[in-house]
Amino acid sequence: MSPPSAMFAEPAPVSAPLPTKAPLKDQVKVAGNYSSTSTLAEVTSDWEKFTFNPIRESQVSRAMTSRYFKDLDNYAESDVVVIGAGSCGLSATYMLAKARPDLKIAIIEANVSPGGGAWLGGQLFSAMVMRKPADAFLREIGVPYEDEGNFVVVKHAALFTSTLLSKVLQFPNVKLFNATSVEDLITRKDAQGNIRIAGVVTNWTLVTMHHDDQSCMDPNTINAPIIISTTGHDGPFGAFSVKRLVSMQQLEKLGGMRGLDMNVAEDAITKGTREIVPGMVVGGMELSEVDGANRMGPTFAAMALSGCKAAEEVLRVFDE
């Protein structure tokens, strides 16, 4: 019986890890007249001759794992951690990364897909409403909208969220760790015994969801001098940090989100975004759970501008 490798004409195993930088174009031998400046039309001009460049599965694995674990190593000490990549967390990250390209910013997002509640406008409808003056944020990130007088409408919430996400992910000083949950907070005590938040405790979300039916699965950690928590209002994952601050007796109790009042809610949450305990700024709907603020329902102006204010609160701490 001939060995499996002789049965399938596969490329010879590669012993040493390949260089992670892209191979020089003249090292890449492919069919047809491909070059690294080929247009899509040229590449797809002759399906008879068409073929992809050769690869070995281990190269794919090494390309992914080498980068992921290098990122984990690099961001193990971050300057800022943002918990929750919803509209508020992403807006805060955008403003921070743009203002301070020297800061290392890690975003920890429990879902595989970041974006939180901002993929749809409300009740699974697609259009997103933002009250003026938050249209200034849409112009800042280049999202088109229809002007309706006191408010503007983005034709699909996903256009806002995907544009903001794309801008955030392009910053070289930002790393998104999605499908990853913050399971606890790292704390430090000062000489007077006061607690300061000093980082986060993380696990892959699928692990976090199975602590009750698997033996002990210890977490990972990220140290950072300041955290922005924007984990949304209460729900299966929501309001994580503020609930944890109550259980570790750093907050006496939660105010609990109140009924819907758009005009009251958006001003209160935006202007109320702040460092609620040393080392932790809370914004977006998570803040409504602390302050007992009203909810605003399907309007997103406060999420964007609370993110802007959260970034300012962090910069103030760094500038102190």
Task: Pick out the residues of the known binding site for substrate.
Answer: 88, 109-110, 117, 182, 218, 233, 285, 295-297
By CB under 6 A, tell whether 243 contacts ligand 48N: no
By CB under 6 A, tell whether 272 contacts ligand 48N: no
Q: Candidates 81, 82, 97, 118: give the one binding ligand 48N (CB under 6 A).
A: 118
By CB under 6 A, tell whether 297 contacts ligand 48N: yes
CB 168, min distance to ligand 48N, A: 13
- What is the dihedral sign for C-alpha 167, 170, 171, 174? positive
Q: Which is nearer to ligand 48N, 140 or 261 (CB)?
A: 261
Q: Which is nearer to ligand 48N, 225 or 270 (CB)?
A: 270
By CB under 6 A, tell whether 295 contacts ligand 48N: yes
The interface region with ligand 48N, picked from 62-70, 74-82, 273-281, 296-304 by CB under 6 A, is: 296-304
* 137 token code pair: 């944020």
CB 109, min distance to ligand 48N, A: 5
* 167 token code pair: 């801008």
d(CA 175, CA 273) in angstroms, rounded, equals 23
CB 69, min distance to ligand 48N, A: 20
Residue among 248, 298, 291 nearest 273 (CA): 291
Partners of 199 in the β-ladder: 186, 223
By CB under 6 A, tell whether 157 contacts ligand 48N: no
* 294 token code pair: 């009203």
By CB under 6 A, tell whether 83 contacts ligand 48N: yes
* Contact criterion met (CB below 8 Å) for 31 and 49: yes
d(CA 187, CA 248) in angstroms, rounded, equals 10
Which segments of the chain are extended strands (E)?
A: 80-83, 105-108, 128-131, 146-147, 151-154, 174-177, 180-189, 195-204, 220-223, 226-229, 258-260, 274-277, 280-282, 294-295
Q: Is 138 helix (H, G, I), strand (E, B) or coil?
A: helix
By CB under 6 A, tell whether 224 contacts ligand 48N: no
* Contact criterion met (CB below 8 Å) for 224 and 79: yes
* Contact criterion met (CB below 8 Å) for 224 and 317: no
Q: Candidates 79, 84, 130, 185: give the one binding ligand 48N (CB under 6 A).
A: 84
The interface region with ligand 48N, picked from 11-19, 72-80, 229-237, 247-255 by CB under 6 A, is: 229-237
- State the distance between the two ends of the chain, measured CA to CA, in whole angstroms: 73
CB 259, min distance to ligand 48N, A: 9
Q: Candidates 296, 305, 308, 314: give the one binding ligand 48N (CB under 6 A).
A: 296
d(CA 162, CA 194) in angstroms, rounded, equals 40
Q: Candidates 134, 164, 251, 303: give the one binding ligand 48N (CB under 6 A).
A: 303
List interacting residues with ligand 48N (CB under 6 A): 83-89, 108-111, 116-118, 181-182, 230-233, 237-238, 240, 284-286, 295-297, 300, 303
